[in-house]
Amino acid sequence: MGSVNRYDNLNLPLLQDSAPNSPDQKNQFVEDHEKDLKTRVWMESKKLWHIVGPSVFSRLTSYSMLVVTQAFAGHLGDLELASISIANNVIVGFNFGLLLGMASALETLCGQAFGAKRYDMLGMYMQRSWIVLFLCCILLLPLYVYAAPILKLLGQPEKVAEQSGLVAVWFIPLHFSFAFQCTLQRFLQSQLKTGVLAWVSLVALVIHVFISWLFVYKFELGVVGAAVALDVSWWVLVFGLLGYTVCGGCPQTWTGFSLQAFSGLWDFFRLSAASGVMLCLENWYYRILILVAGNLENATITVNALSVCMSINGWEMMIPLAFFAGTGVRVANELGAGNGKAAKLATKVAVVQSTIIGIFFCALIMIFHDKFALIFSSSKDVLEAVDKLSHLLAITILLNSVQPVLSGVAVGSGWQSWVAYINLGCYYLIGVPVGILMGWVFHLGVEGIWGGMIFGGTAVQTAILAIITIQSNWDKEAKKATMHVEKWSTLGQHNQS
């Protein structure tokens, strides 16, 4: 009987559970599928926010050091605020954009290697990045030394250019700190050690507020004191992260300094350069707005108003940039592990959540359009000028909640080279000319320039990146990432031999 019953089961449908026929079965199938999707989204959200949460905090505190410096300078006077703003947003921002972009090559390599469990490669990648970025810092030094004549050549008022040139020279120590801070941050993020970034950034911010007060008010060093305080605080951040890394915080990925780091530098430089061009074209875009504004009537008030808006935008931008980092790490980790579908899910979750946050801050700016500038200035003229620009700031914040996430996907996937061409075309062949056309030809002033750059450049670039991301073959990208990891793991050995 037992054998007969067993053979009777052969008459049952083989796929009875996976192909429900009754309404109740179909409803249960849909519920199970939705429950599975909710679980996957929840799990991905937890992984993403494990990176994004501490990254938001560390970026906000790091950027707050720049904001604190501007706030101290702003209460010294309009000239001091303008000089710190231009030195920070134009000279430092120009160089930081390039170095930050070059360091993103480390995000691709370390993220994919960590996903592939090739932990020994991460420390070597970081040392190569140190060498490449430090050499680039030396090459970029003339921009600090000759900042005053450069700014005059770009049309800045003489007093503002001279004062900005003085501040830029005192920012040279800050400039060299970027070569180490950017790389250490990406090294730690790629292996999900984000908590240390938050704690070290908090300590650096507390120290910065104290020494800024000490140098500006107690020692009465003026705008130079504000600049020196920023130098000291940023190096506190660097030594804190370095101390954690080399003193046992990363036992699997840091095995000490090695001469092998000097091998394969040219190939590493080429990848870093592509990354640098991709991100610095984005980072420089709105710096051009401040430079152009210096050629308009009532330049000091206009520059100050724009600097306030750019500072608020930059402050809020730390959240999308944290999503940029989180998305880059998640996509790189999953592609390195050969899991294309998980990389696709990570992209969707990051875009949706970052957009929701962007909508919230966009609404916040519109509500407090006539009040938020009080953080930086008590000048009635500056407050009125900022109020007129608040609607453009709100739109910029909304667009920037999506675009950095898509750039994070590009970094995690290793698409930097051709995304650089997209950025060049959208920003500089479309955005800047449209902005100039709106500002001067149609006489709309700084609002026309900014509006043209938003809709002519940022919106177009975001749309193109969205289309590319949607149409990507993620299984193919996973295979490419596996080959990429193998290539870079053998590169150093090949060059050594």
SS3 of residue 263 by DSSP: coil
pLDDT tens-digit map of 244-302: 999 988 888 888 887 777 877 777 777 777 777 777 777 677 767 766 766 666 667 77
Asked if residue 120 lies in contact with residue 253, where contact means CB atoms within 8 angstroms, the answer is yes
Report the phi/psi class of residue 473: left, alpha or beta, with left for phi > 0 and alpha for psi in -120 to 50.
Answer: beta
Flag whether the pTM goes above 0.85: no
Identify the pLDDT of residue 361: 94
Rounded Cα distance between 88 and 119, Å, is 37
Residue pointed to by tokens 């100050």: 304
Identify the pLDDT of residue 78: 76
pLDDT at residue 10 greater than cutoff 60: no
Amino acid at 377: S
Identify the pLDDT of residue 118: 84
Mean pLDDT of 186-199: 88
Identify the pLDDT of residue 296: 67
CB-based contacts of 458: which residues, under 8 Å, 6+ apart? 285, 396, 399, 400, 403, 426, 427, 431
Rounded Cα distance between 194 and 150, Å, is 39
Task: Count the neighbouring beta carbons within 10 Å of the beta carbon of residue 26.
Answer: 12
Asked if residue 404 lies in contact with residue 314, where contact means CB atoms within 8 angstroms, the answer is no
Q: What is the mean pLDDT of the chain?
A: 82
Identify the pLDDT of residue 496: 44
- Domain regions of the chain by residue span: 50-485
183-197, 386-400, 475-489: least confident range: 475-489
96-110, 324-338, 453-467: least confident range: 96-110
pLDDT tens-digit map of 324-367: 888 988 998 888 888 888 889 999 999 999 999 999 999 999 99
Query: Which pLDDT band holds residue 8 (cuts at 50, 70, 90)?
Result: very low
Kindly state the DSSP code that residue 297 receives in the 8-state scheme.
Answer: S
Asked if residue 208 lies in contact with residue 66, where contact means CB atoms within 8 angstroms, the answer is no
Nearest to 323 by CA among 284, 289, 349: 349
In the chain, pLDDT over 90 holds for what percent of residues? 22
**CA contacts within 13 A on the Cβ side of 254:** 20
pLDDT at residue 488 greater than cutoff 80: no
Mean pLDDT of 396-412: 88
Identify the pLDDT of residue 145: 92
